[in-house]
Structure 1
Amino acid sequence: MEFTSWVRIVTYRYGLAPLSSAGSLHGVGGRFNAGTDLDDQTLKAWPCLYIAQDYETAFREKFQLATGDNLGGLTALDLALTPNASHSTVVLRGQLANVFALNDDKALNAVCRVLRRIKMPEAAVRLQKRLKISSRDNYMIRSPFQLKRALLAQNWRLQPVQFGMPAPSQIFAELIRAAGFEGVLYESTKGPGQCLAIFPEALEDGSYVELVDPAPEPIKHTRLDCTNSDALSGWDDVAKQLRPTA
């Protein structure tokens, strides 16, 4: 997959490392990666670089509201977790050899063929009956429609934030990484364009993401590829006790 003029909005503290995945490791992580706040008995954290097809999509993904919109008189920046926080915008281009596209029905069907072999645990069935939970609210994913709905849920953070348990999209991403994919291409749930979740540690030889425009001199890395993915993984920004052991 080749892409050009894609956009990344970076929190200002990471402005000199716009291709670093450090931010994705904090908290519960992102839609397609696990952060250090998740229960480490479920998923171990891994870094992910999130980029968007255009500025509007990147802005909405970052601030959860369109650039010109307001809610009750408050702008997207007012409603951000860090109101009026500075940020930088970079334009990117690149190439990835192996991307899982959520708009590819054949790919989704292949995953669902595997999922159909997995039965709901008997303990879960008994608990569902005892608590009188409707089968509409508690089911095993069997179809591409169900899978895509779970992966692109608006409130995907609910389970990670409340219980420290990974969201379906994070579990899916772990499987995708293990299968050798370098990232996930998906439709933004907030903006008009697509997004890419890129796994730096999975980049193959020849795959890369780079800044389109000349960078200020203090920026050390203007290109992310397999030769510097460790340096841009962001683990240096995480407390030592939370970093992976060799």
Structure 2
Amino acid sequence: MAKRKGKSRKRKQKSRHHRPKQVHTGSLYLEYSGKSHVRANKLESFRRHLDLELAVQRDRVIDFLYNTLSENCATFNFSEWVRVVSTQFSNDPLSTEGSLRSVGGRFNFGRIDDAQFTPFRCLYVASDRHVGLSEYLQRNPDETEEGITAAELNLLTQNPSFFGISGNLQHVLNITNGSSLTGFLNLIKGFKIPDFVNEMADKLDIERPKVITKLDELMSQLLDANFKYFANFLNVPSNSQWFGQICFTAGIEAIVYPSVRGKGDCLAIFPENFLSHESYVELIDAPPNVFNRRIEGPQLLTR
């Protein structure tokens, strides 16, 4: 082959200290953690293979996962907590329909990809008004950004509505201190990433996936502030949504977890799992226009 005429160009050599890109902390799967954004189209094949490999391993111990989570459940009574909804839905604040919109909430599947990930409903409640508004806005309501308020950043045309709510639940998993997750962690930390998946990561110049082996790693995934990243851009659930799906399928009624936006706690409630009429949530001093003031089990939810 003839050589090209003109000045020769020196090839740029890769730095000996080159480091592969890391995967965003939202990560793809409950057993996999990482730390940065990568282009969605480069992750597709990698994501499918990793998902399949981990799903196979998870299915082998799924009954044990259900059992260890259920064994750590207890009754949970709460009073004068807060439910925050947009004004247009203020006549039915106990509706779970909003949790199915878009990609869903922290612990439930919304409309991510109905063919692969069946949506399931969840009712989100906060321990106080400030925490509720912080979670609703997904930012601290007291903070401003270049003079713009949190409500303005969220393009709110109306202020949200607040409702007092109390309840009694029989089968609740409390993860506020993480101790209830020890058995769950012990089951997933033995999972393995196949060599061919690691090789795919190398070719994509991204960090090799790793299995979560520590409680703080697991908690950081479940409480990731940017949990919607992969659901929005890759149409796959976040780690916390996968965890919620496991809890929901195990028959757990709710998850208590610390707010990542405010100083307080939140409840992710699965009303479809209410075991008996002893399990309920009800509004406190709701205005006359509210037509549904109580959810109790067992009942079929269509709203």
Same fold (TM over 0.5): yes
Taking only the aligned residue pairs, the percentage that are identical comes to: 32
Report the Cα offset of residue 73 of structure 1. 1.0
Q: Aligned to 2:136, which of 41, 62, 83?
A: 62
Write the letter of the residue equivalent to 2:280.
Y
Q: Give the direction of change, closer, same or farther, for the CA distance of 1:56–1:119 in structure 2 (3 Å limit).
A: same
Q: 1:121 aligns to what? A: 194
TM-score (ref. length: structure 1): 0.86
CA distance in 1, matches of 2:217, 2:200: 22
Q: Aligned to 2:86, which of 8, 11, 32?
A: 11
Q: 2:148 aligns to what? A: 74
CA distance in 2, matches of 1:68, 1:9: 17
1:87 corresponds to 2:160: yes
Q: How does 1:172-187 map to 2 (within 5 A)?
A: 172-187=243-258
User: Alignment partner of 2:267: what SS?
Assistant: strand
CA distance in 1, matches of 2:148, 2:205: 41
Report the Cα offset of residue 131 of structure 1. 3.2
Q: 1:242 aligns to what? A: none
Q: Give the direction of change, closer, same or farther, for the CA distance of 1:225–1:121 in structure 2 (3 Å limit).
A: farther
- 8 Å contact kept, 1:25–1:45: yes
Q: Give the direction of change, closer, same or farther, for the CA distance of 1:113–1:185 in structure 2 (3 Å limit).
A: same
User: Alignment partner of 1:109: what SS?
Assistant: helix
Write the letter of the residue equivalent to 2:144.
N
Q: 1:133 aligns to what? A: 206
TM-score (ref. length: structure 2): 0.71
Q: 1:240 aligns to what? A: none
- 8 Å contact kept, 2:85–2:93: yes
Write the letter of the residue equivalent to 1:60.
S
Q: Aligned to 1:52, which of 126, 148, 151?
A: 126
Cα RMSD (Å): 1.7
**Which is further off, 67-76 or 9-18?**
67-76
Write the letter of the residue equivalent to 2:234.
F
CA distance in 2, matches of 1:229, 1:78: 37
Write the letter of the residue equivalent to 2:101.
H
Report the Cα offset of residue 64 of structure 1. 2.6
Report the Cα offset of residue 67 of structure 1. 3.4
1:211 corresponds to 2:283: yes
Q: Aligned to 2:238, which of 167, 183, 199?
A: 167
User: Alignment partner of 2:268: what SS?
Assistant: strand
CA distance in 2, matches of 1:218, 1:127: 56
Report the Cα offset of residue 191 of structure 1. 0.6
Q: 1:147 aligns to what? A: 218
CA distance in 2, matches of 1:93, 1:99: 15
Q: Aligned to 1:158, which of 189, 207, 229?
A: 229
Q: 1:243 aligns to what? A: none
Q: 2:182 aligns to what? A: 109
Q: Runs of 5+ in structure 2 lacking a partner?
A: 1-75
Q: Runs of 5+ in structure 1 lacking a partner?
A: 235-246
Q: Give the direction of change, closer, same or farther, for the CA distance of 1:212–1:44 in structure 2 (3 Å limit).
A: same
Q: 2:11 aligns to what? A: none
Q: How does 1:32-43 map to 2 (within 5 A)?
A: 32-36=107-111, 38-43=112-117
Q: Aligned to 2:104, which of 23, 29, 46?
A: 29
